[in-house]
Amino acid sequence: KKHPLQNKWALWFFKNDKTKSWKDNLRLVTSFDTVEDFWGTYNHIQAASKLQSGCDYSLFKEGIEPMWEDERNRQGGRWLLNTQKNSRQDLDRLWVETLMLLIGEQFGEYSDSVCGAVVQIRTKGDKLAIWTSNASDQDTNLSIGRKFKERLGLPRKLVIGYQAHEDTMSKTGSTTKSVFSL
Ligand code: M7G
């Protein structure tokens, strides 16, 4: 008998094709709700670090689309880890630790506020994020952010910021202000 997960999760893939709209470049790969099916999926897809630049993987709770427009993301935001340019060797470990946090519901009473996670392969530096549903809920977001930083074993001095999607969406420059940081 397979080991059930508390939630059903959907894995999405984004490939940057400039002839298409952002939404048309986003594809649902598969969904799963057992530990065994999670590993089955994980073991047969390309490692994040091997994807082409411009690609993303997203893992979201079933029913939440990995985009700002989804009802559960609209008022939300993300804890963003910006990795250094040319530091892709640790990315797969960071991503799998993030996936374990999500599917294992490791945020305790705050797990309901988690929508999903995204890894983005970029030449200017890969990005890893956890998306939560309410950008103004300080207690929840700080607790989730602390757990994220701790589980990934990030150095205390490495600062991660929480950005509201509303701000990311309307940014003009290359940086969005953080509403919290850790
Ligand atoms: P990105 O891929 O998150 O970061 O956003 P990057 O700049 O490092 O590549 C790039 C662009 O993709 C944004 O400026 C938007 O035009 C589009 N985009 C990204 N996201 C997450 C969304 C989204 O959730 N909804 C829509 N409509 N567009 C998005």
| Cα(112) to centroid(ligand 1), Å | 24
* pTM, rounded to two decimals: 0.97
Cα–Cα distances in angstroms (integers) from residue 174 to residues 62, 145, 165, 169, in the given order:
31, 22, 14, 11
Residues 6+ apart with CB under 8 A from 92: 47, 48, 49
Task: Give pLDDT tens digits along the chain (182 positions).
Answer: 999 999 999 999 999 999 999 999 999 999 999 999 999 999 999 999 999 999 999 999 999 999 999 999 999 999 999 998 777 889 999 999 999 999 999 999 999 999 999 999 999 999 999 999 999 999 999 999 999 999 999 998 999 999 999 999 997 666 789 999 99
Q: Which residues line ligand 1 (CB under 6 A)?
A: 22, 67-69, 120, 122
Q: Tell me, what's the pLDDT at 89?
A: 85
Q: Are 161 and 140 in contact (CB under 8 A)?
A: no
Task: Provide the edge-to-edge strand list for the sheet that holds 4-14.
Answer: 26-34, 4-14, 56-61, 114-120, 127-132, 77-82, 161-164, 180-181
ipTM value for the complex: 0.98
Distance of CA 67 to the CA centre of its chain: 11
| Cα(35) to centroid(ligand 1), Å | 30
| Cα 146 to Cα 161: distance, rounded to the nearest angstrom | 11
List the residue whose alpha carbon is closest to atom 3 of ligand 1.
Answer: 120
Q: Tell me, what's the pLDDT at 173?
A: 66
List the residue whose alpha carbon is closest to atom 1 of ligand 1.
Answer: 120
Atom index in ligand 1 nearest the CA of residue 122 equals: 8
